Structure 1
Amino acid sequence: MSALTSSGPLPDLTRPDVGAALFSTWSVGTPERQRAAVDAIAAAWDGRPWPAPELLSYNVYAGTDGDTLMHHSQWADEAAYHAFVRTHRQERNDAIDSAVPGIERLGLSRYRHYRGFQAPAAQGGAQDPGLIVVVEIDFDDPDPGLRRSWVDLVIEALESEPDQGLLTADFHLIVDGERHLRTDRARVLNYARWTGAEAYEAALAADGPRGGSSAWDRVRDFPGRVGASARSYRFRRSFVRPLEAPPNSANSPEGEAR
């Protein structure tokens, strides 16, 4: 059975059966190549059987920079992803590369969802996001407890003084995996849904004057935080597991995030 492709639905980042949330980025060069790459991805996936019951969803986003594509896949466990790499990934990548030569693959990391914030406007899925912003925050201390404490502070600040236009913010901790998913980075990934680019830009512009808030001051002055980078995207494609293919085994927790 083929995968389902559409402009939606957006993935549920909080679903408890996700044991491995994988994020990766491609550089394709131009908006025209972005569109061609998304079409090639859809053709490569829609024209083949769903590769593994443990793959729960695969989602593609186009960067507002006109260059990047973000890939976000949800797996029941990391082992199933490595099995997919051995048996199915190359043929899909070959088909995509044949249609759009010269794609640069910038890296892949595994994360686990930690906590999320939801604004009242987003409750019940009442409002679709016009923009997805992914922020990667780096720390100089490998202790995952430090990053959890920082996320807790951010959510406390959002609950007391939310950004106008922010619908949801889902925080993930990077996990040290096997093979090419191994990492020594101490990182938090925030996947945030906004009403649109104007709201996000207004929030960035207002960030300085908001410094009088003690909650946000503690977020910014938190020890060990050494930098952050952000990219903006628009959702393009969703590929979801057919209902007829339930996962073979339940997800089991795997170690602490690093």
Structure 2
Amino acid sequence: MTRRTASHPDLSDPRVAAPFFSTWRVGTPLRQRQTVEAVAAAWERRPWPADDLLAHHLYAGHDTSTLLHYSQWTSEQAYEAFARTRRQERADEIDTAVPGIERLGLGRYRYYRGTGGPADRGGRVPGCVVLVDVEFEGADPDRQREWVDAVLEALAHEPAPHPGGISGHFHLSTDGTRVLNYAEWESAQSHIEALAAPGDGIGSATASWERVQTWPGLKSTTVSRYTHALGLVPD
């Protein structure tokens, strides 16, 4: 069966070979809450869909309009089988409960590198999840990896790290065009304070950060804040 959990996911779990991220636009804070409950009901009334799905998590956007889905699959093939046979009945039930949900697309990724796994949280519970979506001009898997390596090098030599940062987990899109950083923070205020510090974005005005921010082919960066709203795992 399916049960709820308040625990945050382990982004670096080596079993997760196919992490998926998708965003829904629902419109209002009330519809955010209604959709979270509709998702929970649609999943809890059914058996867990597949052994290859380790967890499914839902996050409420601080823009009060969107919801983020993050699911941990052991393979893309397992997800495709679920999508063909068991996804639609859940979607239909959710759409009946909350009509008019706009599904903005599914992102397919592979986990690459990160810092601050669950064992490194020191008992801190993430109060805010920040997604940094970076798009490059054209597909280039080498560029994806090299850029992440440069970010982690800049973080390692950051002279004034904000104490509210907990972790950063970097994912590479399978089409070679994007990097997604799932970052855990103690609170949204901690992240806001870090952005307001000297420098362009998170990080001091160092040569390492300037290199990251002016990387050849860097097209756009989008930052979104979320609160963990629902975790679903097999019982």
TM-score normalised by L of structure 1: 0.85
Q: Note if contact 2:198-2:205 (Cα within 8 Å) is conserved in structure 1.
A: no
Give SS of 1:212's match.
coil
The AA in structure 2 aligned to 1:208 is G
Q: Note if contact 1:173-1:187 (Cα within 8 Å) is conserved in structure 2.
A: yes
Which ranges of structure 1 fall in alignment gaps of 5 or more residues?
A: 177-184, 243-258
Inter-partner Cα distance in structure 1 for 2:195 and 2:121: 26
Match of 1:111 in 2: 109
Equivalence map 1:71-110=2 (5 Å): 71-110=69-108
Inter-partner Cα distance in structure 1 for 2:137 and 2:233: 36
Match of 2:129 in 1: 132
The AA in structure 2 aligned to 1:44 is A
Match of 1:216 in 2: 209
Inter-partner Cα distance in structure 2 for 1:41 and 1:212: 43
1:156 aligns with 2:147: no
1:226 to 202, 219, 231: 219
Q: Note if contact 2:24-2:102 (Cα within 8 Å) is conserved in structure 1.
A: yes
Match of 1:168 in 2: 167
Cα offsets for 1:199-227 (capped at 9, x unmatched) = 10111111527653121111112111111
1:202 to 193, 201, 210: 193
Q: Note if contact 2:60-2:67 (Cα within 8 Å) is conserved in structure 1.
A: yes
Give SS of 1:149's match.
helix
Once superposed, which parts of structure 1, at least 4 consecutive aligned residues long, lie more than 3 Å away? Answer: 209-212
Cα offsets for 1:16-42 (capped at 9, x unmatched) = 111110000000010000000000000
The AA in structure 2 aligned to 1:193 is E
The AA in structure 2 aligned to 1:156 is E
RMSD: 1.7
Q: Note if contact 2:20-2:108 (Cα within 8 Å) is conserved in structure 1.
A: yes
Cα offsets for 1:35-70 (capped at 9, x unmatched) = 000000000001100111111110000001111000
Q: Note if contact 1:122-1:168 (Cα within 8 Å) is conserved in structure 2.
A: no
Match of 2:59 in 1: 61
Match of 1:192 in 2: 183
Cα offsets for 1:61-107 (capped at 9, x unmatched) = 00011110000001110011111111111110111111101100000
Q: Note if contact 1:164-1:203 (Cα within 8 Å) is conserved in structure 2.
A: no
TM-score normalised by L of structure 2: 0.93
Q: Note if contact 1:211-1:217 (Cα within 8 Å) is conserved in structure 2.
A: no
Shift of 1:166: 1.0
CA spacing shift, 1:212–1:67, aligned 2, 3 Å: closer
The AA in structure 1 aligned to 2:128 is L
Cα offsets for 1:124-147 (capped at 9, x unmatched) = 551011100111101114221111
Give SS of 2:86's match.
helix
Q: Note if contact 1:168-1:192 (Cα within 8 Å) is conserved in structure 2.
A: yes
